[in-house]
Amino acid sequence: MKTPLLIVTLFLSFSIILLGTGCKKAATASDPPTIATADVILDVTSTTAQSGGTVSSIGSGVITDVGVCYSTTNHLPTTADTKTTAVITNSYSYVSNLTGLTPKTTYYVRAYASNAFGTSYGNAVKFTTSGTLSAVTGAVTTFAGSGADGFADGTGTAAQFNNPIGVAVDAQGNIYISDSFNNRIRKITQAGVVSTIAGNGTAGYVNGVAATAEFYGPQGLAVDAQGNVFVADFGNNVIRKISTAGVVSTVAGDPDGGYLDGAATVAKFSSPAAVAVDKQGNLFVADFNNNMIRKITSAGVVSTVAGVKSGGYSNVTINTATGVNAAFKNPDGIVLDAAGNIFVADLGNNAIREITTAGVVTTIAGGPGQAALIGNPGGLAMDAGGNIFIADENGRVIELTAARVLYDLAGTSGLAGFADGSGVTAQFSTPQGIGVDASGNIYVADFNNNRVRKVLVVNSEVKN
């Protein structure tokens, strides 16, 4: 039996990366602090918002004041404009509340930090308040699963799962679940009927007819336009395909694992955690233990898109000719937009990263020192409007809008439990994969609750 190793291996992907809380080293000259503004604005309504910053150096003295300053006219606001004050945390990050804002108005905001030698500012971030929005929350219900760890097909809560991880949704609205500890791939119709499409329940590596095929801790899933399902077979270090005819095959990888580009038959991955497919049939893989994003062409050639094996955190424009590359740390989720840009849940860096089609790597939310924003991002999904939905393994479902506004839809960071409801009244226990259908319904693999949850985004309006 491989189950003990499976449990140990899988939980490595859920570990929390702790940040040092020691003091920032002071400079030797008479320097003010160095600070960056948070990349995203939080919880924008018609009259309120949140912003913050992260201090990367305290300069030559003790920090005396931090906060954000904002203006509707000054594109580079200073403390002479409207400002907030905040309390800095051990990770040298903070969040401030902006109140009394004017509806449908554009604001410019910058983080600031002061010491005895001066005040420094971060970059300016622009946002616009809504006209009538008072809150954005998620209404959570249980879509399938009894909560008991077991295996049973059936309808809704009559079905059983054993630590579900991956989620994908096809064009017809069917939901596919990688039932990790059952070593099976499950399907849920829009009516909530759960069936098994591949895997016999044994942890192993066998291709062939879906009913007798074997997987080893499957994680991320993707579905192409033809209805073929692709599986990041985490424990087997391979990418598998379940055809519409019900035949399981290996797309690329070697069960021995490792790192090697080239033909699919010789290429190697190390614990692939997530997979996405583009319109041309190319696959993109979050190669968890190799700290890389890989590509498998429709012709079966594997290459490295971004990342270095040693891992880390850096944003660059990739240049393979000169060896310049970005760094990730345990990428755990991946999704593509309509233009082919890649978005990555960079678990170890508490960040959402973007890789453009031109090879430019940036952080669009979170990052080292900003763990409170994104937490431990696992699965990613994107709707037709370019809004990204994030399963935060710390217990939340988060929306990052196309306008780069961040909303906590449901759950509470650091609080594990089970409860249906809206916003913070809902509870998850290590939510993993996430998917969204054409109607905007969100589906979450609630790992430790052995359930699939459904989240409906609710936009509350200001009542006169």
Residues in a beta bridge with 380: 390
Encode the chain (464 residues) as per-residue pLDDT tens digits: 333 333 333 333 333 222 233 344 444 578 999 999 988 999 999 999 999 998 989 999 899 999 999 999 999 999 999 999 998 877 788 999 999 999 999 999 999 999 999 999 999 999 999 998 888 999 999 999 999 999 999 999 999 999 999 999 999 999 999 999 999 999 999 999 999 999 999 999 999 999 999 999 999 999 999 999 999 999 999 999 999 999 999 999 999 999 999 999 999 999 999 999 999 999 999 999 999 999 999 999 999 999 999 999 999 999 988 888 999 999 999 999 999 999 999 999 999 999 999 999 999 999 887 778 899 999 999 999 999 999 999 999 999 999 999 999 999 999 999 999 999 999 999 999 999 999 999 999 999 999 999 999 998 877 65
Sequential DSSP letters for 227-279: --EEEEEGGGTEEEEE-TTSEEEEEEE-TT---B-EETTT-B-SSEEEEEE-T
pLDDT value, residue 460: 80
Other CB atoms within a 10 A radius of the CB of residue 225 amount to 10
CA nearest neighbour of 201 among 362, 2, 449, 431: 2
Residue 247 in tokens: 């035949």
Residue 131 in tokens: 């006209």
Distance of alpha carbon 68 from alpha carbon 37, whole angstroms: 8
Residues in a beta bridge with 408: 398
Q: What share of the chain is helix, strand, coil (3-state, %, to 5)?
A: 5, 50, 45
Other CB atoms within a 10 A radius of the CB of residue 190 amount to 14
pLDDT value, residue 115: 94
Residue 370 in tokens: 């900003």
**H or E, element range at 13:** none
pLDDT value, residue 463: 64
Distance of alpha carbon 337 from alpha carbon 326, whole angstroms: 20
pLDDT value, residue 8: 36
- Sign of the Cα torsion 456, 460, 461, 464 reads positive
What Å distances lie between residue 334 and 165, 235, 342, 382, CA to CA?
14, 18, 7, 10
pLDDT value, residue 313: 95
pLDDT value, residue 10: 37
Other CB atoms within a 10 A radius of the CB of residue 245 amount to 8
